[in-house]
Structure 1
């Protein structure tokens, strides 16, 4: 065997024992952690996004870590390696409400996470279950005022945005409502259908299909405009309640994520939500696609932290 053949054989032997990442710059895997059970709005959005990201990563999986209104998922991601392989997808509440709501949090909403991208904006709904007997906001309020505290409403958890939607709605409308928290929108739907609670406050997506099938009735939406999923449903303002409230879903990584890794994930998310197919799916589900930069998400979070501070203090609600 000549010298060239020997060198070639040696090189081939070396390649055979090298791991695949050494042979080429393989795409990294991505795990999207969701703090709510399967079947809810956050889970649905994460799975739609995962499908849109599949060409930018070697694999994209969604892992549900429900409980505590998303705090369990946040704590998990906070402790994860800052390598860009584990991120959390969540509604804005845990990042802009919880710091004002909870006396103690095991995370800092700003210092412990790296903003990646604001994914979509959305609004909420006021939903009546079979036991409510209300076909409009006016009927709901009349019943609630007739027997203060008897009107129960479910949400995906204490301290979540829907929780405060209910508190603010009651204050604006002059009615006393009783909050019943659940570990996600799915369990709250089950309780609503079973007559264990009368009403529910949650994102429109959670109950749009149940509304269309006649199993529940969406009485109002909380945005400035009607929601395209249920265009026949009027806003709260149309029904005399002076309240407009919207929120957003976003993606964060643990603190210390390298800028180049952060920006690569953010760019992939922005590209995915702007593709015609995924954009159409998001709009169908009542989400307004965004796909922001990390800096834009950080600015939105800072603005909402400031915006919610006063209203939350005014409610007097504080949780342990």
Structure 2
């Protein structure tokens, strides 16, 4: 009896010992890579790095990897092909998920089925920025100049088919002015062109040019939201200047399709906690973002709503890109 008991105890201890490494591994914090589809220095990159700082205690490491190009589609393709283990996610503005399906004839991803919604991070609005080459001080002067020489006024954006690109098209249609679009690979390069006088204007999120505006190097002449932006409270909205147009957007985090619910929910909870901490919330507000930190279901609902909302306006513009 003693021998049988000793053998059983020995086997039980061996089984327990065998499980310990696995349990230790599962209790370790995983690493996290946040992929951003735009170059360093832009609004998406800034938000990703602020978020990475807020998440550092929840993961063994948090890195931001920039994969710029194609308005964020390169980053989306990378994350689409990543293992569904919760260690690779993409942070992006809403355009690639709600505009691109209507704008591009062919996309190498399905915005709904190829990704797992994790969290809606923040809402934001856009700005109309005049560079030193334009010589204008407000929207009225911009429109007068554009109408006097149709197609001669140029505006830059972070890329072809991005939300700012569409904002520029919509603005021209609403205001009755013909502007020529010049795409760049991110907001930083567009700022360089604006400062160098290579383009007249720029459409982008307010954060991208707020410091340049305050330094007097460029002039933000309008914001596109329903109210003025706290970063530049002296700048009127488009509606205040007679252009019947309002437009806002959001940043969100997605993982590849097939994330396990428990992994998805762990990521969402960590992000929501980070976004709502007083320090990060204050930083986001200072940068012109309205912090959210939603559940996966809330992000999926927001995406569905905006997919439907933008379908009609985009079709009306006739924009179709290859």
User: Taking structure 2 as the reference length, what is the TM-score of the superposition?
Assistant: 0.94
Counterpart of 2:158 (choices 156, 159, 165) is: 156
Q: How do 1:186-225 residues align onto structure 2 when only pairs under 5 Å count?
A: 186-225=188-227
Q: Structure 2 vs 1, CA of residues 110 and 23 (structure 1 numbering), >3 Å: closer, same or farther?
A: closer
Q: Structure 2 vs 1, CA of residues 141 and 294 (structure 1 numbering), >3 Å: closer, same or farther?
A: same
The residue aligned with 2:304 is 302
| Cα distance in 2 for residues equivalent to 1:62 and 1:98 | 24
| Cα distance in 2 for residues equivalent to 1:175 and 1:74 | 34
The residue aligned with 2:167 is 165
Q: Structure 2 vs 1, CA of residues 30 and 151 (structure 1 numbering), >3 Å: closer, same or farther?
A: same
The residue aligned with 1:234 is 236
The residue aligned with 2:142 is 140
| Cα distance in 1 for residues equivalent to 2:109 and 2:87 | 20
| Cα distance in 2 for residues equivalent to 1:92 and 1:15 | 48
| Cα distance in 1 for residues equivalent to 2:56 and 2:242 | 45
The residue aligned with 1:101 is 103
The residue aligned with 1:279 is 281
- Three-state SS of the structure 1 residue aligned to 2:126 is strand
| Cα distance in 2 for residues equivalent to 1:23 and 1:177 | 57
Q: Structure 2 vs 1, CA of residues 47 and 23 (structure 1 numbering), >3 Å: closer, same or farther?
A: closer
CA drift at 1:292: 0.5
CA drift at 1:20: 8.3
CA drift at 1:15: 7.4
| Correspondence 1:59 to 2:51 | no
Counterpart of 2:319 (choices 298, 312, 317) is: 317
| Cα distance in 2 for residues equivalent to 1:57 and 1:112 | 25
| Cα distance in 2 for residues equivalent to 1:31 and 1:202 | 26
Q: Structure 2 vs 1, CA of residues 99 and 24 (structure 1 numbering), >3 Å: closer, same or farther?
A: closer
Deviations 1:217-253 (A, max 9, x none): 0000000010000000000000000100000000000
CA RMSD of aligned residues (A): 1.9
Q: Structure 2 vs 1, CA of residues 25 and 171 (structure 1 numbering), >3 Å: closer, same or farther?
A: same
| Cα distance in 2 for residues equivalent to 1:200 and 1:236 | 15
Q: Structure 2 vs 1, CA of residues 69 and 24 (structure 1 numbering), >3 Å: closer, same or farther?
A: closer
The residue aligned with 1:80 is 82
CA drift at 1:19: 6.0
- Three-state SS of the structure 1 residue aligned to 2:252 is strand
Deviations 1:101-154 (A, max 9, x none): 000000000000000000000000000001001000000000000000011000
User: Taking structure 1 as the reference length, what is the TM-score of the superposition?
Assistant: 0.94
| Cα distance in 2 for residues equivalent to 1:180 and 1:19 | 56
CA drift at 1:159: 0.5
Deviations 1:145-194 (A, max 9, x none): 00000110000001100001000000000000000000000000000000
User: 5+ residue gaps in structure 1?
Assistant: none
Deviations 1:8-58 (A, max 9, x none): 9xx89x979x86873661011100000000000000000000000011111
